Amino acid sequence: MCRFIFIFMIIMSFAAVTHAQENGPDYFVEAVIDNPTPFVGERITYSFRFYNAVLLEDCDDETVVGCPQYVPPEFQDFWQQDVEERDALPDVAFLNDRQYSVQTIDTYLYPTRAGELTIAPASLVFPESVFRPEQAILTQAITIQAVPLPEGAPDGYNGAVGQFEMRGTIDRQSLPFGDPLRLTITVTGIGNLEQMTPPEIPVDTTWRIYDSDTIFIPASENPSQQTDTRIFEWLLVPSEAGSQILPAIDLHYFDPTVRNYRTISTTEITLDIIPPADGQPENLPPSSNTNLTIQRQALPLKAINANITTNSNNLAKIIFALMWVFPPIVFVAASVWGWRNRPHRRTIAKQNISALKHARRRLSAARKQNTVTAHRLIGEAIFAYFAAQLQIATGELNTEVMREAMRQRDIPNDMMTDLFACLDTAHQVQFTPNAANNSKRLIDRTNQTLMQIDRFWKQQ
């Protein structure tokens, strides 16, 4: 009898394996792209997909032993931009009567030259365990045909490809002679923003121009935007007093959706450069944050006429009624408020985790880059962390906003000092490549400082 049961179990196991093989493998991978014929510089999406029909260990934590590891190809002849993973459930697919959980990792690619380009296979590596040796499964290679940009590019075209919008701001419209003016150009859109070079500032020799900063923020790290953002900043110093014109600034780009070149511009603006004290005019306009493209004025407030009367005879009755009605209303309102804010508190906690996770991934990507790019990514990681924590656009951030946010959360002064030292070093090396530096050491220091700050932040 025991022998019969044993033989039956073997037959059923073999039948189950055969059935699974007939209906498809337990897991497999594939790679796809969304556009096989992009223009040079046009963004395409490379998607690595892992189909899994069996129960694997929970691998949301990258440190779990035994979880498969994604090994991307080198993407030769492409500029690569990693897409930060959004916190979403895996997709579900039904293939050959089997249900698969589908996990996708996207990467944005930008062809750097025209012609036939090949993307090598990606792999998913299962580490060695007591039940199996190390195993790797590969995707297929992908070939695309990159199309050269057409002729007829406007003068000053710098290789931008995509769909963009541009906004310019200055920190003040009236300033004393010799003081610097801060000009900020913010470009948003879908395209090769990370590789975009600054637009030309068309001022004459009476102006001195100093490059101040440049920041790239992907859409996944900007809670208020669905597009990527590139911010350019300059310090401008007019060398003549009086009325000065800041000319319009042009951005030329190629739009692959219409296969044509486009130009977007700010508007010129008149500045009042105040002469030295001996010739200083009276009744100067106050300093203001002036937008180069759209001027908005506050709408006037309208007064509301309201006549409130009370009946003194019924006052005691009203007060007595409120004493009975008001406490239950307060109790119900407090209960509803607490119930409605439970998801909000979970969202904030989740955002805190996501902010550090994205910053650390950006720091990890910096290890694979050259010195200038690595230090730019370090600065972007710091700004992106605070933008996510504060739920504001990165363009609204500066060191004072960051410092005040940390003060309100009782972040120790030594941590704040370390953070701004990392930020200053990143900016210094980014704009002075020959300066002495150690990228890996700065990445480790920034990573450690952000982790320490994050621990204090979560306690609030």
pLDDT tens-digit profile, the chain (460 residues):
444 443 434 334 444 444 445 567 888 999 999 999 999 999 999 999 999 988 665 565 545 556 788 899 989 999 998 887 655 667 888 888 888 989 999 999 999 999 999 999 999 998 877 777 888 999 999 999 999 999 999 999 999 999 999 999 999 999 999 899 999 999 999 999 988 999 999 988 778 898 767 888 888 776 556 789 999 999 999 888 899 889 999 999 999 999 999 999 999 999 999 987 765 444 333 333 444 443 333 333 333 333 333 344 444 455 555 555 555 555 545 544 444 444 444 344 444 556 787 788 788 778 777 787 888 889 888 988 888 888 877 667 788 889 999 999 889 988 899 899 998 888 777 655 555 567 888 998 898 899 889 888 877 6
Fold adopted by 162-291:
Immunoglobulin-like (2.60.40)
Strand, coil or helix: what is 428?
helix
- Report the DSSP beta bridge partners of residue 273: 175, 242
- Asked if CATH classification 1.25.40 holds for the domain at 340-458, the reply, yes or no, is no
pLDDT computed for residue 105 by the predictor? 92
Q: For residue 84, with 0-12 CB atoms within 10 Å meaning exposed, 13-18 middle and 19 or more buried, which class applies?
A: middle
Q: Which CATH code of 3.30.70.2190, 1.10.260.40, 3.40.50.1360, 2.60.40.740 fits the domain covering 20-146?
A: 2.60.40.740
Can you give the pLDDT at residue 162?
96
Q: pLDDT value at position 263?
A: 97
CA distance 258 to 261: 9
DSSP-based three-state secondary structure for 286 = coil
State the pLDDT at residue 23.
66
Distance CA 303, CA 162 (A): 48
Angle, helix 371-390 to helix 315-366, in steps of 10 degrees? 170
Q: Which two tokens stand for residue 329?
A: 């209303």
**Domain boundaries along the sequence of the chain:** 20-146, 162-291, 340-458
What SS3 class is residue 219? helix
In the block, which residue shows the tokens 């009946």?
311
Give the span between the Cα atoms of 283 and 323, in whole angstroms: 58
Q: Which two tokens stand for residue 279?
A: 């010739």
Q: Measured on CA atoms in the order 446, 448, 451, 453, is the torsion positive or negative? A: negative
**Do 20-146 and 162-291 agree at the fold level?**
yes
- Regarding pTM above 0.85, the answer is no
